């Protein structure tokens, strides 16, 4: 459990230490620990620069993603609900970078808050009592609610001038609206606002909330490729230099399936990678080394690195 020294509460519920460091619980999830490791590296470096300390919750488990609930509704809720228990034990607001994990944990919270028989079943199965005080936020919410766009701009050392960006929200970050509560789920703009704060140009396009088909990759590869071709092709048609996302599954799916495409590839970057670039952080070469479509040529052509 993370300790909080001289704790004060800001309006979003975060805890600050006496050294003015915001301390949050951290649930990494499986993807961010493996295929999305560049998300972890850039996230931790960016958060450190912003004065955010992450305390990884002890004993966390896989959230079940999009697979568990297809086998059993109970399993699909027990797995993330156990992480809710671990987050409560940590005693801090919880940061969850992966939208799939965030969605699963929010669904578990919704079931635990319902007052239904499922709440009792989950609590008895896991062996805990749910507290509705637990605050759970994904990456952009941490940035917007705890830092704010004005303060974020103050950390920008090298504005991303001339860079045209399409923000890709995907399907799990904004749905189901009554559970994740992200506001406008048909035309969200919160990632676009972050892009603008970094000095880049956010572009409007029609595929920002479409599913990328990541879960179809192993069983229906051709279908997944057709979906990713449509999304990345439309990003290029919109005039984008890069596609920005906050999802590890979306990033790897959209990035790796471009290698066999006939049309020009487009780099697929995490929001924290673009933030770190604008902040002039040194770790970016480590982040980019895992990308299939190298972002260096386009960023270099605009003199951004």
pLDDT at 220: 86
pLDDT at 263: 57
Percent of the chain whose predicted confidence (pLDDT) is above 70: 92
Residue 63 has pLDDT above 70, yes or no: yes
pLDDT digits 0-9 by tens, 186-229: 999 999 999 999 999 999 999 999 999 998 877 888 899 999 99
User: Region 77-85: what's the mean pLDDT?
Assistant: 98
pLDDT at 11: 39
**CB burial class (10 A; 0-12, 13-18, 19+) of residue 244?**
buried
pLDDT category at 80 given cuts 50, 70, 90 is: very high
Could you write out the three-class secondary structure of 110-169? Answer: HHHHCCCHHHHHHHHHHCCCCCCCCCEECHHHHHHHHHCHHHHHHCCCCCCCCCEEEEEC
All structural domains of the chain, each given as residue ranges with its CATH number in brackets, are 8-139 (1.20.1050.140), 157-301 (3.40.50.11810)
Average pLDDT score over the chain? 91
* DSSP-based three-state secondary structure for 100: helix
Total-model pTM: 0.92
pLDDT digits 0-9 by tens, 233-276: 999 999 999 999 999 999 999 999 885 554 578 999 999 999 99
* DSSP-based three-state secondary structure for 199: coil
pLDDT at 223: 92
pLDDT at 71: 85
pLDDT at 169: 98
pLDDT digits 0-9 by tens, 124-178: 999 999 999 999 999 999 999 999 999 999 999 999 999 999 999 999 999 999 9
Higher pLDDT, 264 or 112: 112
Count H helices, E strands: the chain? 15, 10
Higher pLDDT, 5 or 224: 224
Residue 5 has pLDDT above 80, yes or no: no
pLDDT digits 0-9 by tens, 271-302: 999 999 999 999 888 899 889 999 999 999 99
227's tokens: 């979906």
């Amino acid at each position: 459990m993370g300790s909080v020294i001289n704790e004060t509460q800001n309006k979003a519920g975060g805890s600050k230490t006496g050294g003015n460091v915001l301390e949050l619980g951290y649930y990494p999830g499986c993807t961010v620990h493996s295929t999305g490791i560049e998300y972890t590296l850039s996230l931790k470096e960016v958060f450190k620069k912003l004065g955010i300390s992450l305390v990884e919750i002890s004993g966390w488990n896989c959230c079940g993603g999009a697979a568990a609930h297809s086998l059993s509704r109970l399993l699909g809720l027990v797995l993330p609900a156990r992480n809710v228990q671990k987050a409560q034990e940590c005693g801090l607001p919880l940061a969850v970078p992966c939208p799939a994990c965030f969605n699963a944990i929010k669904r578990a919270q919704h079931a635990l808050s319902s007052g239904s028989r499922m709440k009792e079943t989950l609590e008895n199965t896991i062996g805990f009592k749910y507290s509705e005080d637990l605050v759970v936020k994904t990456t952009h919410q941490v940035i917007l609610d705890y830092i704010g766009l004005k303060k974020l701009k103050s950390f920008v050392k090298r504005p991303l001038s001339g860079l045209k960006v399409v923000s890709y929200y995907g399907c799990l970050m904004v749905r189901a609206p009554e559970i994740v509560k992200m506001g406008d789920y048909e035309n969200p703009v919160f990632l676009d606002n972050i892009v603008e704060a970094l000095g880049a140009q956010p572009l409007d396009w029609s595929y920002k909330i479409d599913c990328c088909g990541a879960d179809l990759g192993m069983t229906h590869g051709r279908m997944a490729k057709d979906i990713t071709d449509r999304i990345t092709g439309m990003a290029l048609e919109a005039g984008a230099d890069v596609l920005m996302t906050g999802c590890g599954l979306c990033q790897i799916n959209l990035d790796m399936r471009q290698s066999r495409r006939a049309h020009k590839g487009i780099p697929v970057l995490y929001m924290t990678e673009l933030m770190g670039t604008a902040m002039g952080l040194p770790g970016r070469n480590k982040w980019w080394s895992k990308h299939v479509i190298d972002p260096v040529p386009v960023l270099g052509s605009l003199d951004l690195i």
